[in-house]
Amino acid sequence: MKGLRNRRCKRRFLSSRDGGARCRYCGRRQKLRELTIDHVIPLSRGGTHAIENLVLSCAACNGAKADRPVEDFLAAGAQAQFGSQSAGPRLSPGGGRVP
């Protein structure tokens, strides 16, 4: 999506697209400016800066995910480790929302 080069605009767009200012991995609510922008498919693994490949995540989840694909991150149990206090939105191994 063209015109979303500014990080603040990207954060606002991702927040409205994904249901609010919360981490896509653990579901914790945070102030929008405290969330980081994460590449679902890391750049080092062929991912792009396309808006479809970006999600908001808390610093803890983003650091734990590092440069792994989301499937590896979730399979490693990080979701259980970071998401135990929240019932927020989760990503399935394919990257889609889990109801």
Residue 98 has pLDDT above 60, yes or no: no
Amino acid at position 78, single letter: A
Residue 93 has pLDDT above 50, yes or no: no
24-46: pLDDT as tens digits: 998 999 999 999 999 999 999 99
Output the pLDDT for position 12. Answer: 93
Note if the pTM is more than 0.75: no
Output the pLDDT for position 86. Answer: 41
In a domain, 95, yes or no: no
Residue 22: CATH number of its domain: 1.10.30.50
In a domain, 92, yes or no: no
Query: What whole-number percentage of the chain has pLDDT above 90?
Result: 56
Domain region containing 77: 7-83
Q: What's CA 34's distance to the chain center, in Å?
A: 13
